[in-house]
Amino acid sequence: MTARETSRVAEDYVTLIWKAGEWPDDGRKATTSDLAASLGVTLSTVSANLKKLAREELIHYEPYGTISLSEEGERMAVDVVRRHRLIETFLVEHLGYRWDEVHDEADRLEHAASDLLIERIDAALGHPEVDPHGDPIPQAGAMGRADGPVTARILTRCETGQTVQVVRVSDTNPDVLRFLADRGIRVGSTLQIVTPMTATGLMTVQSEDQAIEMSLPIAGAVHVDQVSG
């Protein structure tokens, strides 16, 4: 494996670890099984790479224990997240990509783009605060989490009669993004809860003049901020 490939592997791992704790109400933590699923590799490969990253002092890790980032690992992760989200925003706003098309494209470009190109993209976009999915874009050189809506929660936790506004949609599943886009739901959309999430794994929301039934995977990808109710 070349030095560039090694660096890319490190960036992929620390970024996934960072993102796992970005939205606290998700209740997510980085696990070896989640990393394996996201990266399409075996558990043994993940364990070997985590041990390597720990030796390089990018993460804190003990087998079967918690996984967390060191200061250097967090710095690397935040830089990659910034690159990814600025590229996604540029692709949507200037190249006509749909929000379900940009994640994989940005994954490929985030490792290759120079610092100068990223800063030129940021300036050309007018220094945006969020990407097309509502994810906050970290400032250059920032550490920790970018500022997001502190009262945001997952749509599945809302109750009948509440009126909420979509503030973020997970970009991990393009099918979910296409489902929402086809029904006119995007960041900034207002929804009213008709039927909350039930044991059947379904809920119903009202969006403008249409009632929309959502499955658990779809509703679980949507973060909202309460407007009323």
- Does the pLDDT of residue 217 top 50, yes or no? yes
Residue 33, both tokens:
């099984």
Rounded to the nearest 10 degrees, the angle between the axes of helix 102-109 and helix 71-95 is 130
SS3 214: strand
**pLDDT, tens digit (0-9, with 9 covering 90-100), for 19-35:** 888 876 555 678 899 89
Domains in the chain, start-ordered, CATH in brackets? Answer: 1-147 (1.10.10.10), 153-228 (2.30.30.90)
Average pLDDT estimate for 44-56: 95
- Does the pLDDT of residue 147 top 80, yes or no? no
**pLDDT, tens digit (0-9, with 9 covering 90-100), for 153-193:** 899 999 999 999 999 999 889 999 999 999 999 999 999 99
**Model pLDDT, residue 62:** 85
- Does the pLDDT of residue 3 top 50, yes or no? no
**Model pLDDT, residue 143:** 63
**Model pLDDT, residue 229:** 57
131/87 Cα distance (integer angstroms): 9
**Model pLDDT, residue 101:** 95
DSSP string of 45-101?
A: HHHHHHHHHHHTTSEEE-TTS-EEE-HHHHHHHHHHHHHHHHHHHHHHHHH---TTT
**pLDDT, tens digit (0-9, with 9 covering 90-100), for 69-105:** 999 999 999 999 999 999 999 999 999 999 999 999 9
**Model pLDDT, residue 29:** 73
Model confidence band, residue 202 (pLDDT cutoffs 50, 70, 90) = very high
**pLDDT, tens digit (0-9, with 9 covering 90-100), for 106-120:** 999 999 999 999 999
